[in-house]
Structure 1
Amino acid sequence: MIVSHRYRFIFLKTAKTAGTSIELALSRFLGPDDIITPVSAEDESLRKQLGGIGPQNYQQPHNASKHWLNRLRQTFSKPAFYNHMPAAEVRALVGEHIWGTYFRFCVERNPFERAVSLYYWCCRKGPRPPISQFLQSPQIQLLTQRGIQIYMSGSGQMLVDRILRYENLAAELETVRMRLGLPEPLLLPNAKGGLRPAQQHYSELLSSDDRRIIERQFCRELELFQYRWETVTDLRHPRHKSPDSISESNAFHALPQSR
């Protein structure tokens, strides 16, 4: 995740939504006071090749309350800021002024696609069990913990200003870039990519039972973002168009938002 004082934004990183690629792209524009959490050694090497600033300032809280300072002393082995950090924890560390005045954003993705992406990522070093078996494992809980629980409170309050849709990511990032005043377009590297067969649609891998498991696990995301089960045939003959981003959807305006 990133807290940029130079451009006054907070990027919260959800899982399997190109979060690492976005971090690496944003790193090129950050300053010495900005907070950048570490990624894997392989991705840090890629960040360096792209000319981005590496992890910095994540070990210490920024404007943290005495309560949080005491907690950090008690659990000093854990960095103050970390990968896939929930909005509520970031808010407590940066303070209300920064939280209320910086632009806060993250990315969400079709849960069926996210589940398939996580499957290939977790099984990248083999052996690879059937995906039906994988969906029964605790790993699938990561997508909730590192997804909607990052940007929404337990009471259903939206904790960010904008949630970009992975399916329209290039256009959405350009809108964010212009809002933030970044001097150049964001060029996304293919971090953590290349594991899944090219052009494979999730409906070609998931069974009807798999579909029901994912629909139960991610019912809030499916409703909020108006995601629906689709097949390759549906893509060739689209029947509806989803909103470009959650801040532009009716579902967003129906939810309370917390500054």
Structure 2
Amino acid sequence: MIVSHRHRFIFAAVPKTGTHSVRQALRAHLDEGDAEQVGLFVNRRFPWEDLAAIRHGHLSLRQVRPYLGDEAFGGYFKFAFVRNPFDRFVSYCAFMLRDGEVFQQQPREAMYHFLFRAPPEQHILFQPQSSLLVDDDGATLLTDRIGRVEDMQASYDAICAHIGIAPSPLARVNGSRRSDYRRYYDQALIDGVAARYARDLDLFGYTFEGAQ
């Protein structure tokens, strides 16, 4: 997550949505009064002890709101990027098994393991994207704009125009080796991901085939 007092924005870093590329681009526009929390590639912490203790940078908007106050939180432009949950789940499995050839050799077996046999419920990368972006009611988005990974550069350029900074080409960071996500699925996996990430599909307008 990044909080820029200079440009009055909050970037909520949803995992597995190209957040490191966006962070890299945004850092060129931050100054000493701005704050970032991240734990991969770069190690930075928020100035608030309770949040800094969490250590990773995938914090929810609900978590940071009390530290900013209602006026700043309400007035700052809040944005995030999201991704088709079916694509994101494949990316998650590939990322978790990136140090070997298991996913390359048996991708569907790996997907069954994470989805059905031993789902890592508390792992922030496994949790629904919406869990970082909704209010306490679990349904109302706190963001002012949602960008899409499927149209990432155009989404980022539009966000830059809104917050008044110059856009720049986004680099590819932390990508995984895999094919089109649709090739990895059978019907049981489609149904399982649809059930687990139902709120993401509904809030962000995705189906198995893509964005509605």
Query: What TM-score do you get using the length of structure 1 for normalisation?
Result: 0.71
Tell me how far 1:126 sits from its aligned partner: 2.5
Aligned-residue Cα RMSD (Å) equals 2.3
Which residue of the other structure, out of 84, 99, 105, is the alignment partner of 1:110? 84
Query: Hey, what's the Cα distance between the residues in 2 that align with 1:113 and 1:214?
Result: 10
1:174 aligns with 2:163: no
- Bigger relative CO (Cα 8 Å, ≥ 6 apart): 2
1:4 aligns with 2:14: no
Unpaired segments of 5 or more residues in structure 2?
none
Mapping of residues 138-157 of structure 1, within 5 Å:
138-139=119-120, 142-143=124-125, 145=127, 147-155=129-137, 156-157=139-140
Which residue of the other structure, out of 91, 96, 113, is the alignment partner of 1:133? 113
SS in 2 for 1:39: coil
SS in 2 for 1:163: strand
C-alpha offsets along residues 110-164 of structure 1, whole Å, 9 cap, x if unaligned? 0000000001100001262622223223236645636111001241221111111
SS in 1 for 2:79: strand
Query: Hey, what's the Cα distance between the residues in 1 that align with 2:168 and 2:130?
Result: 24
- Kindly indicate whether the alpha-carbon contact (under 8 Å) linking 1:115 and 1:143 is maintained by their aligned counterparts in 2: no
Query: Hey, what's the Cα distance between the residues in 1 that align with 2:169 and 2:36?
Result: 18
- Kindly indicate whether the alpha-carbon contact (under 8 Å) linking 1:39 and 1:83 is maintained by their aligned counterparts in 2: yes
Unpaired segments of 5 or more residues in structure 1?
45-53, 62-71, 236-240, 243-259
- Kindly indicate whether the alpha-carbon contact (under 8 Å) linking 1:119 and 1:134 is maintained by their aligned counterparts in 2: yes
Query: Hey, what's the Cα distance between the residues in 2 that align with 1:160 and 1:150?
Result: 10
1:205 aligns with 2:184: yes
Partner of 1:188: 170
Of structures 1 and 2, the larger Rg is shown by 1
Q: 1:98 is matched by which residue type in structure 2?
A: A
Partner of 1:88: 62
- Kindly indicate whether the alpha-carbon contact (under 8 Å) linking 1:15 and 1:146 is maintained by their aligned counterparts in 2: no
- Kindly indicate whether the alpha-carbon contact (under 8 Å) linking 2:62 and 2:136 is maintained by their aligned counterparts in 1: no
Indicate how the Cα distance of structure 1 residues 132 and 146 shifts in structure 2: closer, same or farther if over 3 A, else same.
closer
Query: What TM-score do you get using the length of structure 2 for normalisation?
Result: 0.86
Indicate how the Cα distance of structure 1 residues 85 and 127 shifts in structure 2: closer, same or farther if over 3 A, else same.
same
Q: Which runs of 4+ in 1 moved over 4 A?
A: none
